Structure 1
């Protein structure tokens, strides 16, 4: 069924908040999911002082706060930490990148491309008109990000050569890294020219072909890119190529308590929020990594790759969402603790058929009906 896009895009940001049943919801864009320790401390302070005490990790590697008491004070606080570099472009700074790039695996190190793309988007006045749901993707060749079906992306083939990806489809056009950012911006401009009222390139009739034509590339495109079998959260102890250690930690429903966030910030190492609602802590020596696990595991950071919580996601549900037919998170917690999950494997619990927050890939739906739950094992 076609999506109704007759209303303006109301995707929340740090300045344009969404009024939910539990109060204002503000979302902070984190290009590449990157957070410095001081920025994470600032977010923890904001969650404790202005929100409900939790940071919610999103499927785009961003962070949002619920029940924000004073949105203006929140915006001022994150701006002081460099998390609001552009008031005009803050909602369109949606950039997903391979979280382990440059440290573990991958064909290319795309970390500099993240910084360059973010800066270029902010410097382009016209791109402030992109919908807030627009998504740029940068895949270092391992296949973890291109399969998440962004609007405009790059997929590395070598250290310096990338394929252009449009609406999750790899095209035949390859570009050198020196020209890659300009090409992505040109693709975003092409989308603005053809999008009408659509919010995503995939929604535009013949959108990929029209974008290619607008760019004058004469390129061809194949089928949609599937997620790599290895795509997903990297959990536990990870050896970096420089001999240091990275730790991957999962979170129940992607919720990062302010106190846990403060402990993460106190480690004073780079942190990346992943599209799988997990966090990565980089550049640790072995002794420090062992201490982090001992301290943070009891606080709720999941280092066990076999934890059932890594398979269970959920929307906000009641009482935070007025459309929800159940308190899905409480129900899912009970099901996990009593080992009574309705289906094995990855599953998303939702308070209504909208299934907000549902991850991509092979995921079963557990939908509240008002009289229990309907389980739909069909994947999409």
Structure 2
């Protein structure tokens, strides 16, 4: 998604930010939709059980994982807002009503869990600790220190603005966040940049969460100065974005020392594949994916109870519509992997469901031209395993392509004439070559496209 940062910016927004939250519900065709933010994807097994209860008692009995590691509940009644909010607050899932939609924080989900460091030292920074600290700062609101414009509150950020915390492996960098923090190999320093382009600022790792907060304030100041209704950094023209030099001045004024890194080569790594993750001290983690990003209450509870019984009581929900269960023994990990597979969850990169996604489609979305989830499931059921190197594939019900992956991916788009298939690459220039594929040929066409070199 690097090209997105240099694309022509949006000159303005015709309507306000309608991104849903836990309190601002979205009216979909299948009922109201609530999006619960999980900064860093962090969730206790107790909190996971609360979400399962809410999906079962108020919703349609399913939980969707978003491309930012958040959780959505669908099929909610219109009048459920007060009950939903109260139960989320009691579970610690709604620490600030005013700021709940801006808590979009993704972090490397395997940080501290895998025993292989790819040549790095064991001093790799715990970016999950960064996520907790940054979330506390975001929720502090008016209690935080004021910036030079007299503003401390960040509630003016769009619900789409994204903070990315990468432990150095490059998985989060690939998501092209608006403010990116990257842990350096020495474990003592971090790189800070807008988007995923240089130049960057190098600063002490301990200052990273506060520096990210100040960067978001700098974005809001630039947004006000530009007069553009920008939701994300890429919506600003290059000359409108805060310069690294100006940001360095802001950080210095707040007592954060930093230095300019003019030439920047960012790490760029893959998402964690489903399967067993060999960790330190004889412990393992299990990485799994939800088929098309959706779990039933039964599947969700199966994972939550595995974490509570045999793990460390924590789940890490990932931006790749998956979940990581840390703290397992080898024996427990093997048993749960089998149980997850039997329940229909994706536990191997060889599964054709690995890397496959779809928007809500019909009947949940009025704009969709097809029941894309049913059509995707039928296609994948007849598709040969693609392997770990297969391209992601995404079914969209309309031209908006809500939730589609970045980078290089297979686009399966519903049209009035049927599905149109193309291989898209965010780094490539010019339109992708697309063709309409008959239903009887879809499985073979998707399989071939996913292995395109």
* TM-score interval for Structure 1 and Structure 2 normalised by the shorter chain: over 0.9
Offset of residue 38 of structure 1: 0.4
Q: Residue 374 of structure 1 aligns to a residue in which SS?
A: strand
Equivalent in the alignment of 1:378: 424
Quickly say closer, same or farther: Cα 1:349–1:223, change in 2 above 3 A: farther
Equivalent in the alignment of 2:93: 83
Q: Residue 306 of structure 1 aligns to a residue in which SS?
A: coil
Quickly say closer, same or farther: Cα 1:164–1:299, change in 2 above 3 A: same
Offset of residue 211 of structure 1: 4.1
Equivalent in the alignment of 1:65: 73
8 Å contact kept, 1:365–1:378: yes
Q: How many pairs align? A: 376
Quickly say closer, same or farther: Cα 1:83–1:181, change in 2 above 3 A: same
Offset of residue 263 of structure 1: 1.8
Q: Residue 337 of structure 2 aligns to a residue in which SS?
A: helix
8 Å contact kept, 1:163–1:171: no
8 Å contact kept, 1:57–1:278: yes
The answer to whether residue 354 in structure 2 is matched with residue 310 in structure 1 is yes
Quickly say closer, same or farther: Cα 1:211–1:73, change in 2 above 3 A: farther
Among residues 184, 188, 193, which one is paired with 1:165 in the alignment?
A: 193
Quickly say closer, same or farther: Cα 1:378–1:256, change in 2 above 3 A: same
How do residues 346-357 of structure 1 correspond to structure 2 at under 5 angstroms? 346-357=392-403
8 Å contact kept, 1:168–1:224: no
Give the number of the structure whose alpha-carbon radius of gyration is greater.
2
8 Å contact kept, 1:48–1:54: yes
Q: Residue 348 of structure 1 aligns to a residue in which SS?
A: strand
Offset of residue 156 of structure 1: 1.1
Equivalent in the alignment of 2:43: 35
1:319-362 per-residue CA deviation (whole Å, 9 max, x = no partner) reads 11100111111111111123399xx7321110111110101121
Offset of residue 66 of structure 1: 0.8
Quickly say closer, same or farther: Cα 1:222–1:22, change in 2 above 3 A: farther
Offset of residue 77 of structure 1: 1.5
8 Å contact kept, 2:201–2:244: no
Offset of residue 227 of structure 1: 3.4
Mapped partners of 1:50, 1:297: distance in 2 = 27
8 Å contact kept, 1:53–1:257: yes
Offset of residue 178 of structure 1: 2.2
Gaps of 5+ in 1: none
Q: Residue 96 of structure 1 aligns to a residue in which SS?
A: strand
How do residues 145-184 of structure 1 correspond to structure 2 at under 5 angstroms? 145-157=172-184, 158-184=186-212
How do residues 200-349 of structure 1 correspond to structure 2 at under 5 angstroms? 200-206=232-238, 209-217=241-249, 219=260, 225=266, 227-228=268-269, 231-267=270-306, 268=308, 269-339=313-383, 345-349=391-395
Mapped partners of 2:404, 2:266: distance in 1 = 19
8 Å contact kept, 2:290–2:321: yes
8 Å contact kept, 1:367–1:373: yes
Q: CA RMSD in A?
A: 2.0
Relative to the length of structure 1, the TM-score reads 0.93
Offset of residue 371 of structure 1: 1.8
Offset of residue 108 of structure 1: 2.3
The answer to whether residue 144 in structure 2 is matched with residue 119 in structure 1 is no
